[in-house]
Every structure is written in structure tokens, then in C-alpha cells.
Amino acid sequence: QVQLVESGGGLVQPGGSLRLSCAASGNIFRINIMGWSRQAPGKQRELVATITSGGTTNYADSVKGRFTISRDNAKNTVYLQMDNLKPEDTAVYYCNADLSVGRLYNHNNYWGQGTQVTVSS
């Protein structure tokens, strides 16, 4: 079965940095799109960043200039480098992927379990 596993969350002071990773495993034929979303307590889930199969990236306005999304296709892994973190970045961060599985091009959406990021003094 296809699975997404996030790691790298933790507690950091304002202005600090964290690097999240999300590894996809299973019978993956192709990674179409991967991205990160976040959800703070009592708030709706917010799309943070995405990266396409061609390497095109998109970011929420709130994180532009501070976060960088990247991918390692050989490892089926996507990363989120988070710099200059702010208290408002505190949330559970979820990896999301649109993957082709099996032997043909197709679309299947998967979510990871989430990793907690807390920005506090």
C-alpha cells in the first residue's frame, strides 16, 4: 500500500528554522504533484506549498520568502525548508501527494499523518 510519512517537526523559537520531509513508499509509478498543508487548532487546513512533476513551485502568501519546497524524485521524497519561523506558523503540517500507482499513469491522492510544528519562545 502507498504510504506518506512526514518527519522533522518540533519546537523552535521565532526566527528559527525547521526542515520537514515526506517520504512516499509503495507501488509508485510517478509522483505527479506533492505539497504541504497545515492546520492550526480550531482553524481550517491551509495550503502552504506545492511542487509539480516539472518542478514548478507555488507558495501561500504568508510563507513566501521564508519557506522552500523541493523534491528528490529518486527517493520519492518532498521537503519543506522553513526559515524565519513565526508563532503563526504553529500547526500540524501534512504532506499531500497526487501519485500514479501501478503500471499506468493515473491519479491517486494521499495524505500523511502530519507532523507538529510549534514556534514559541
Tens-digit pLDDT profile for residues 52-78: 988 999 999 999 999 999 999 889 999
Please report the pLDDT score of residue 74 as a whole number.
87
Spell 79-95 as b/e; 16+ CB within 10 A means b: bbbbeebeeebbbbbbb
pLDDT at 107: 93
The count of other CB atoms within 10 Å of the CB of residue 10 is 12
Output the pLDDT for position 53. 87
CA distance linking residue 84 with residue 96, whole number of Å: 23
| Per-residue model confidence (pLDDT) at position 112 | 97
Q: What is the total residue count of the chain? A: 121
pLDDT of residue 73: 86
pLDDT of residue 103: 85
Q: Residue ranges of the chain with pLDDT lower than 70? A: none
